[in-house]
Amino acid sequence: MLAKKTVARPPAKQRTPAFRLPFTTVDVVIFTVLEEALCVLLVRRPNADSEPYPGKWALPGGFVNVDIDTTLETCAARKLAEKTGVASPYLEQLGSWGSVDRDPRGWSATHVYFALIPAKHIRITKGANATEVAWFDVNEVVEAADLAFDHSTILATAVDRLRSKVEYTSLPAFLIPEPFSLPQLQRVYEIVLGRSLDKSGFRTRMLTADFLEEDSYLEGLSNRPAMGYRLKDRSAPVVFPRTFGR
Amino acid sequence: MLAKKTVARPPAKQRTPAFRLPFTTVDVVIFTVLEEALCVLLVRRPNADSEPYPGKWALPGGFVNVDIDTTLETCAARKLAEKTGVASPYLEQLGSWGSVDRDPRGWSATHVYFALIPAKHIRITKGANATEVAWFDVNEVVEAADLAFDHSTILATAVDRLRSKVEYTSLPAFLIPEPFSLPQLQRVYEIVLGRSLDKSGFRTRMLTADFLEEDSYLEGLSNRPAMGYRLKDRSAPVVFPRTFGR
DNA sequence: CTTGTTAAATTGCACAGTACAACTAAAATT
DNA sequence: AATTTTAGTTGTACTGTGCAATTTAACAAG
């Protein structure tokens, strides 16, 4: 089947295989922190009766386009940029979901990524196709569990993964614009985790992990000015040797 | 495109879509500990010139069969059972790899799982199709980096993920047959991590985590008999509050 | 039966990172 | 000038680990 013996460049044209293929999609769970809440970006499904889940909210995503997408990750980055305009977010693969019945149109498998972006960097593009796009409080969306397809399950998994990694990594630093103060960063940790943390221990952990560099003082946004910080390396989070207590 | 408006059961037949679809495959990284080494199961690619990478070693896996596979995970479990006869291993999703050029036959995406199984439970089935199947020392295979497709990359990622999770979970307990002694379990940790651990700290960590239950004493396999243990819950590993030191 | 060897399991102590709580410091508000 | 608010520090206790020495239970040799 499908003769091709060299291990070189892919063929410009792909022969139709002898067996049926699942659909391949990519979805992106885009998180940010907005008004003291962890938020996720959702898009409304078109209202046409020919589409599955018309009018329902869903994670942004869609079919892989074999003509323009070269990898799954660039496909995810493309879909993210289309909705938010953000070019280089923190982007990590979450996993994949595939089954015969997750899409009424037939066997489908989706590759899911999750992205962390600072709220200030976003311009929500109610694009040419007039698709509705909006931010939602994560807790409420997970509670309602009313998204299209299996997206409620996927979102719940993404939130679990985010929360567990926040226990021992610097991931929340990707959720706020730079420069930020340590109290601001701590607030983001607390919003994501849903519990308060000790100030003193938080500071020593962040500073000894040596992933922040001092910027200028941040004045005016609270009573006393706070030291502003930036990430030394925006490409990956730092891993701490322990989790937070309690 | 693809008219279907109800959100009910999938159609028995899937219409051919208007656009080309990537291939969808599932691969499984199967780990065990054999003769004091972390090993991975590989299969040899058929020698037919019509197949990609003929004669090369590869991870077990293959196309999703939309007629018999209902989910990606059951597909992975099926492929694992076919090669090893193991019915209920520890099975976790590793991630997915997809691009236009990872398979010479065209755009393809693979969903990768990794499994941990105790060596004693295995009967390698050199099955009806006479496929060659064998265990290889992980360090040597990663070093050689000579697997078919992008499987060397995938294996390296699986080993990284396993090592990092072993630092703070009870995963190695899934790599040895029950009952096992604490020194045996510690040996597995050391084999996977590639460094020695402190005996005293190891014992207190394992016992306070409360995921083991005592079995009968294991006699004869060393000078002094050791307490034998079993897992209280084989469905998921325990997460420790810290990583190992050094 | 005694002695030496090996590996299992325990003990004691120092150390690191955190939890908890009280305190000082700098700016805004009154 | 006094009060409030938030940033940041200090000190003490506790927990889990790292390290090293010790005890315990079997086996083997003389």
Q: How many Cβ atoms from other residues are within 10 Å of residue A207's Cβ?
A: 12
For chain B, the C-alpha Rg in angstroms (whole number) is 21
B197 CB-to-strand D distance under 7 Å: yes
Q: Which residue has the higher pLDDT, B56 or A245?
A: B56
Flag whether pLDDT at B8 surpasses 60.
Answer: no
Question: Percentage of chain A with pLDDT > 70?
Answer: 89
pLDDT computed for residue B2 by the predictor: 32
pLDDT computed for residue B14 by the predictor: 52
Bridge partners, A25 (sequence order): A63, A110
Query: Any CB–CB contact under 8 A between A152 and chain B?
Result: no
Interface-testing mutation among A1, A14, A28, with chain B (most B C-beta atoms within 10 A): A14
Flag whether pLDDT at B12 surpasses 60.
Answer: no
Nucleotide nearest to A224 (CA to C1'): C27
Nucleotide nearest to A228 (CA to C1'): D7
Separation in Å, CA of B73 to nearest CA in chain A: 8
Query: Any CB–CB contact under 8 A between B244 and chain A?
Result: no
**C-alpha to C-alpha distance for B32 and B34, rounded to whole angstroms:** 6
Bridge partners, B218 (sequence order): B226
pTM assigned to the model:
0.90
* Average pLDDT score, chain B: 90
pLDDT computed for residue B15 by the predictor: 53
DSSP B239: B
- Give the pLDDT band (50/70/90) at residue B88: confident
pLDDT computed for residue B196 by the predictor: 95
- Give the pLDDT band (50/70/90) at residue A11: very low
pLDDT computed for residue B84 by the predictor: 87
Flag whether pLDDT at A126 surpasses 60.
Answer: no
Flag whether pLDDT at A105 surpasses 60.
Answer: yes
Q: Which residue has the higher pLDDT, B125 or B156?
A: B156
Bridge-based pairing of strands B23-34 and B61-63 is antiparallel
Contact A53 B7 (CB under 8 A): yes
Query: Any CB–CB contact under 8 A between B246 and chain A?
Result: no
Length of chain B: 246
With a CB cutoff of 8 Å and minimum separation 6, the contacts of A213 are A229, A230, A231, A232
pLDDT digits (tens, 9 = 90+) for A59-85: 999 999 999 999 999 999 999 999 888
Residues (46-75, chain A) with CB within 7 Å of strand D atoms: none
Flag whether pLDDT at B179 surpasses 80.
Answer: yes
Residue nearest to nucleotide C18 (CA to C1'): A201
- Give the pLDDT band (50/70/90) at residue B5: very low
pLDDT computed for residue A211 by the predictor: 97
Name the region of B71 (left: φ>0; alpha: ψ -120 to 50; beta: rest): beta
Cβ contact B60:B75 at 8 Å = no
pLDDT computed for residue A222 by the predictor: 85
pLDDT digits (tens, 9 = 90+) for A156-210: 999 999 999 999 999 999 999 999 999 999 999 999 999 999 999 999 999 999 9
Query: Any CB–CB contact under 8 A between A17 and chain B?
Result: yes
- Give the pLDDT band (50/70/90) at residue A134: very high
Write b or e for each residue in A143-156: b if 16 or more Cβ atoms lie within 10 A of its Cβ, otherwise e: eeeebbbbbbebbe
Residue nearest to nucleotide D25 (CA to C1'): B224
pLDDT computed for residue B129 by the predictor: 54
Mapped onto helix, strand or coil, the DSSP state of residue B38 is strand
Flag whether pLDDT at B169 surpasses 50.
Answer: yes
A208 CB-to-strand D distance under 7 Å: no
Name the region of A151 (left: φ>0; alpha: ψ -120 to 50; beta: rest): alpha
- The end-to-end CA distance of chain A, in Å, is 58
Distance from CA(B143) to C1'(C22), angstroms, rounded: 56
Please report the residues numbered 72 through 91 in chain A whose beta carbons come closer than 8 angstroms to any beta carbon of chain B. Answer: 72
- Give the pLDDT band (50/70/90) at residue B123: low
**C-alpha to C-alpha distance for A8 and A24, rounded to whole angstroms:** 24
Flag whether pLDDT at B4 surpasses 90.
Answer: no
Cβ contact B147:B42 at 8 Å = yes
**C-alpha to C-alpha distance for B231 and B219, rounded to whole angstroms:** 19
